[in-house]
Amino acid sequence: MLIYRWLTIFGRYIMLMGRTFSMPERLRMFWKQYVKEMAQLGINSIGIVLLISFFIGAVICIQMKVNIESPWMPRWVAGYTTREIMLLEFSSSIMCLILAGKVGSNIASEIGTMRVTQQIDALEIMGVNSACYLILPKILGLLTIMPFLVIFSSAMGIVGAYGTAYIGHIMPPDDLTVGLQHDFVPWFMWMSIIKSQFFAFIISSVASFSGYTVEGGSVDVGKASTDAVVTSSVLILFSDVFLTQLLS
Amino acid sequence: MIEVKNLYKSFGDKEVLKGINTVFEDGKTNLIIGQSGSGKTVLMKNLVGLFEPTSGQVLYDGRDFVQMSKKEKVMMRREMGMIFQSAALFDSLSVLENVMFPLDMFSSMNLREREKRAMYCLDRVNLSGAEKKYPGEISGGMQKRVAIARAIALNPKYLFCDEPNSGLDPKTSLVIDDLLHSITQEFHMTTIINTHDMNSVMGIGENIVFIYEGHKEWQGVSSEIMNSTNKRLTDFIFASDLLKEMRQAVTGNSKN
């Protein structure tokens, strides 16, 4: 029965995506929504992304320095590992998990509230494809802005690492610089961006589905919001395993 | 004109609409009345296509809405306007943007013409001056009037109103009723109002359909209600002692 239920939900998700990825009725209205969503979902998330990335970069650097330091290890290893962790996992996967909480709940509660207050019915009565009008700009907006968030996150993590070197005097900044520059593989940056695109799609589409299919009242909107965050987080973690294997 | 023929709607084993047959006429304020849970809202949702009937026909000037393809239904819906019980205004848009929304979506007017049309609609519902406000900043009655302005922006042929007076004080309810009635006549629309409000029934009901437990129990005009011998109808309309006494005073009939 559980499998039947999951298959039913997956089928409804696919059907909703089918309605979402259709030609917008008015491109002018679509662009307006697209720009608005980029600002709401992406630009408004820059602050939290930069803040978290700064501190995580700093903490990773301190942990590496404290725990890996050994006479057998080169002095730049803390900088090297900080860069690799930020680039390969934090700036894409962990940051997207954080965004699943912030952006996912935002999308699910916004669309869910529109559903229970009959705003989506009003769109349908007007002859508007509500899925395309509401969901497509969110998905494309987040996909567009995500690479920038990944780059900002990586850069801020490294700034955080320098913070520990210059302010906390954990290690000499020169050692950190050597580590950060050691054996740099540009593909890792691309890998991070590609992974984040998949995660952005998961966050925006799963949250939209949760909100769009709400039935009931405010309690159900809250539940949909929680479900959106949990489901997209789990899917991000699952897909991270496959994507990392595929892209490495 | 909207004709409903042998309309059935079930949810699982529960049959909510049981073979409704009725006609809603052009240029008239058609009312659907009935107790809570009698199937009024389900009937209206079947008329506008938010629910798919189990069987039966809904004919818009002879065109069967149930049998239409998705594309045809979308085109058909552009001839409809709907006012929801909760007004269903878009929270993120201002009053003017709400009224302009259908015009932005479907009209070929330029921005100035769209604004002019939206301002005319707002003026028609006596809301000039509120265009920059947001739905959260205006009263329930004003929200309903904005919803009416949005519904008539594209000059619809068919106007649906789901309990437009719910949550409003009697005076504001009268304003909304008068507005709907005058707009119906002015634009010669087929207006269907789902209501519990007895003032609306007696005041603007030009064609009243009484739904009882999923079937049409009675149909007529407001003046016929006073002398109706249908017990279910009179029990529903004259539920309060005050209304019973009023009826008795008018008709001299104490039986019902």
Question: Do A121 and B90 count as a contact with CB atoms less than 8 A apart?
Answer: no
A28 touches chain B (CB under 8 A): yes
The contacts of residue A146 (CB under 8 Å, 6+ apart) are: A42, A96, A193, A196, A197, A199, A200
- Looking at every residue in chain A, the average pLDDT score rounds to 92
Question: Do B77 and A124 count as a contact with CB atoms less than 8 A apart?
Answer: yes
* B203 close to B225: Cβ distance less than 8 angstroms: no
Whole-model pTM?
0.86
Return the closest-CA partner of residue A155 out of A97, A216, A212, A87.
Answer: A87
Q: Which residues of B touch A106 (CB under 8 A)?
A: none
Q: Determine the pLDDT at residue A85.
A: 92
Question: Do A26 and B89 count as a contact with CB atoms less than 8 A apart?
Answer: no
A171: pLDDT strictly greater than 60: yes
Amino acid at A144: T
Residue among B74, B88, B102 whose CB faces A121 most closely: B88
Chain A, 199 to 228: residues with Cβ < 8 Å from chain B are none
B255: pLDDT strictly greater than 60: no
* A155 close to A83: Cβ distance less than 8 angstroms: no
N-term to C-term CA, chain B: 34
Question: Do B101 and A117 count as a contact with CB atoms less than 8 A apart?
Answer: no
Q: Determine the pLDDT at residue B20.
A: 92
Q: For chain B, how many helices (H) and strands (E)?
A: 10, 10
State how far the Cα of B251 lies from the Cα of B229, in Å rounded to an integer.
Answer: 12
Q: If pLDDT is split at 50, 70 and 90, which confidence band does A70 have?
A: confident
DSSP state of A102: I
ipTM of this complex: 0.82
Chain A, 108 to 127: residues with Cβ < 8 Å from chain B are 113-114, 117-119, 121-122, 124-127
Q: If pLDDT is split at 50, 70 and 90, which confidence band does B253 have?
A: low
Q: Which residues of B touch A118 (CB under 8 A)?
A: 84-86, 88
Residue extents of the structural domains in chain A: 29-247
B1, two tokens: 């004109």
Question: Do B88 and A25 count as a contact with CB atoms less than 8 A apart?
Answer: no
Q: Determine the pLDDT at residue B256.
A: 46
* B167 against A232, higher pLDDT: A232
Q: Determine the pLDDT at residue B252.
A: 65
* A126 against B252, higher pLDDT: A126
Helix (H) / strand (E) containing A230: helix A218-247
Query: What does the radius of gyration of chain B's CA atoms come to, in whole angstroms?
Result: 19
Return the closest-CA partner of residue A214 out of A102, A124, A108, A134.
Answer: A108
Question: Do B104 and A28 count as a contact with CB atoms less than 8 A apart?
Answer: yes
Residue among B89, B91, B105 whose CB faces A126 most closely: B105
Average pLDDT of the segment spanning B235-240? 76
The contacts of residue B40 (CB under 8 Å, 6+ apart) are: B32, B33, B34, B194, B211
Q: Which residues of B touch A107 (CB under 8 A)?
A: none
Q: Percent of chain A beyond pLDDT 70?
A: 100
Choose from A125, A129, A133, A215 for mutation: most chain B CBs within 10 A. A125
The contacts of residue B54 (CB under 8 Å, 6+ apart) are: B8, B9, B10, B17
Q: Determine the pLDDT at residue B240.
A: 67
A132 touches chain B (CB under 8 A): no
Provide the Cα torsion B80, B187, B89, A206; round to 10°: 20
DSSP state of A44: G
DSSP state of B212: E
Q: If pLDDT is split at 50, 70 and 90, which confidence band does B146 have?
A: very high
State how far the Cα of B169 lies from the Cα of B241, in Å rounded to an integer.
Answer: 21
* B218 close to B230: Cβ distance less than 8 angstroms: yes
Question: Do B104 and A127 count as a contact with CB atoms less than 8 A apart?
Answer: no
Question: Do B50 and A121 count as a contact with CB atoms less than 8 A apart?
Answer: yes
State how far the Cα of A231 lies from the Cα of A218, in Å rounded to an integer.
Answer: 20
pLDDT in tens, A16-51: 999 999 999 889 999 999 999 999 999 999 999 999
* B128 close to A159: Cβ distance less than 8 angstroms: no
N-term to C-term CA, chain A: 37
Question: Do B105 and A125 count as a contact with CB atoms less than 8 A apart?
Answer: no
**Across A32-36, A109-113, A199-203, B197-201, least confident range:** B197-201
Q: Determine the pLDDT at residue A227.
A: 94
pLDDT in tens, B76-133: 888 899 998 888 999 999 999 999 999 999 888 899 999 999 999 998 888 888 889 9
Integer CA distances (angstroms), A74 to A17, A57, A61, A69, A78, in order: 51, 20, 15, 8, 9
